[in-house]
Copies of this chain bind each other. A is one copy, B any other.
Amino acid sequence: MPSSAAVTVGSVAIGGGAPVSIQSMLTRPLDDTDAALEQTEALRTAGCEIVRVALPGHSVLPALKAYLAEAVLPVVADIHFDGRLAVRAIEAGCHKIRINPANLQNPGTLTDIVAAAKANSIPIRVGLNSGSVAPRSGIRPTDDNPAALLVDAALDGVRSLEKLGFHDIVVSAKCPDVTQTIDIYRRLAATLPYPLHLGVTAAGGLRQAVIKHGLAFGVLLGEGIGDTMRVSVTGDPVEEVRAGWDILRGLGRRRRGAVMIACPTCGRTKVDLQEIAAAVESALEDLVTEIGEENWPDDIRSVAVMGCIVNGPGEAAAADIGAAFEHKNAVIFRKGDILERVPAASAVAKLVSLIEEAASGIR
């Protein structure tokens, strides 16, 4: 696994062996402070660990300050073009900034940004994406090797900070293409000693977006590349956070509550298993928020929902607990062994109560 120095964003370490952290970005405008704080809380309860906010101009600085005073997560200010705005954001107390040094309208302000970041002990993410890099360099990302282009631009950005004696750096270089993303981050990991922020930009609606991130992050994290991540989804950023956890749990990299195992149903299924599975998934989300990962019972990390009683418990024998349904009844099982038969309508509540009982033994 490539080594990288640890960088600290508020209370969260990135790199240096720290768990891969999950980030998201506010879609509510910062100047509606209540809405921004409410969305931040929703992101935190979904498992978000670092939140990013767009800072479109100086007029938002008072709102940023009001937001920072109450935000429940470390905050990254995302700034384009205006170096002085980046300095003001750092002074306002944000915990990291994300800039593209190459697109500062006044390149001289980079010295002031670095001085402010040093004075406030915060890191800088050199954050590029294929769209913002290309037009300015006069070369479009449809050219022969868009990955090499983006990597070169990222390395230029990093060097411009290093020249100023600044090394508290995180790097990202995002594009909408999966294979290019894999190529880009492999090159960055092979070249740079800094933590990498994984991302795919402009990935699309929920299904396509989460698939693209899964394809790219599965390969990269499997190779030990990536220290923090944002899944980009056009839609509710809470889904970005949930998808991030799906990825880390899917790869066995981090734990958070229980994962759900649900059969895909077939002509044998007699209940609306999709509805039941959604109810269980939602209940598991609520439970981990309520109980907390630190109190979650370690012997209930997977919960199965199966569409037939005959094969269900056996097929889901690897699940810690589960329910298998027929018309009006369900059997509740643990590791494939049937515990009891209950009315189908109370099966979800029974699964939840099994987790709550196990958790109460811990707390």
A residues near B (Cβ < 8 Å) are 25-30, 53-54, 56, 78, 80, 129-132, 134-135, 140-142, 146, 175-179, 182, 201-219, 222, 232-237, 239-240, 242-243, 246-247, 250-252, 259-269, 273-274, 277-278, 281, 302, 304-306, 311, 314-318, 335-336
Q: Is the interface of A mostly helix, strand, loop or mixed?
A: mixed
- Which chain B residues border A304 with CB–CB below 8 Å? 202
- Which chain B residues border A237 with CB–CB below 8 Å? 264
- Which chain B residues border A54 with CB–CB below 8 Å? 266-268
Residue of B whose beta carbon sits closest to that of A223 = B219
Given contacts A141-B318, A208-B281, contact A263 B179 (CB under 8 A): no
Instruction: Contact check, A259 vs B204: say whether CB atoms are below 8 A apart.
Output: yes
Given contacts A53-B267, A207-B246, A264-B202, contact A273 B234 (CB under 8 A): yes
Instruction: Contact check, A269 vs B210: say whether CB atoms are below 8 A apart.
Output: no
Instruction: Contact check, A267 vs B26: say whether CB atoms are below 8 A apart.
Output: yes
8 Å CB contact of A214 from B141, B213, B281:
B213
Nearest first, the 7 closest Cβ-Cβ pairs linking A and B are A214-B214, A131-B315, A215-B218, A232-B264, A234-B262, A54-B266, A29-B267
8 Å CB contact of A266 from B25, B131, B208:
B25
Question: When chains A and B are docked, how far (Å) is the Cα of A263 from the Cα of B314?
Answer: 44
8 Å CB contact of A246 from B134, B177, B212, B269:
B212
Instruction: Contact check, B205 vs A277: say whether CB atoms are below 8 A apart.
Output: yes
24 of the cross-chain contacts (CB-CB < 8 Å) are A27-B266, A29-B267, A54-B266, A56-B268, A131-B316, A140-B317, A142-B335, A176-B261, A177-B252, A179-B252, A182-B222, A202-B306, A204-B260, A204-B281, A207-B239, A211-B213, A212-B246, A212-B250, A215-B217, A215-B218, A215-B251, A219-B219, A232-B264, A235-B277
- Which chain B residues border A179 with CB–CB below 8 Å? 251-252
- Which chain B residues border A234 with CB–CB below 8 Å? 262-265, 273-274, 277, 305
Instruction: Contact check, A317 vs B207: say whether CB atoms are below 8 A apart.
Output: no
Residue of B whose beta carbon sits closest to that of A265 = B27
Minimum CB–CB distance from A49 to chain B (whole Å) comes to: 18
Question: When chains A and B are docked, how far (Å) is the Cα of A304 from the Cα of B205?
Answer: 11
**Number of identical monomers bound together in the oligomeric complex:** 2
- Which chain B residues border A204 with CB–CB below 8 Å? 259-262, 277, 281
- Which chain B residues border A259 with CB–CB below 8 Å? 204, 208
Instruction: Contact check, B246 vs A208: say whether CB atoms are below 8 A apart.
Output: yes
8 Å CB contact of A316 from B202, B240, B251:
B202
Question: When chains A and B are docked, how far (Å) is the Cα of A129 from the Cα of B281?
Answer: 23
- Which chain B residues border A201 with CB–CB below 8 Å? 263-264
- Which chain B residues border A269 with CB–CB below 8 Å? 27
Question: When chains A and B are docked, how far (Å) is the Cα of A76 from the Cα of B212?
Answer: 29
Residue of B whose beta carbon sits closest to that of A63 = B267
Instruction: Contact check, B219 vs A267: say whether CB atoms are below 8 A apart.
Output: no
Instruction: Contact check, A318 vs B146: say whether CB atoms are below 8 A apart.
Output: yes
- Which chain B residues border A30 with CB–CB below 8 Å? 267
Instruction: Contact check, B205 vs A26: say whether CB atoms are below 8 A apart.
Output: no
Instruction: Contact check, B132 vs A311: say whether CB atoms are below 8 A apart.
Output: yes
Instruction: Contact check, A251 vs B178: say whether CB atoms are below 8 A apart.
Output: yes
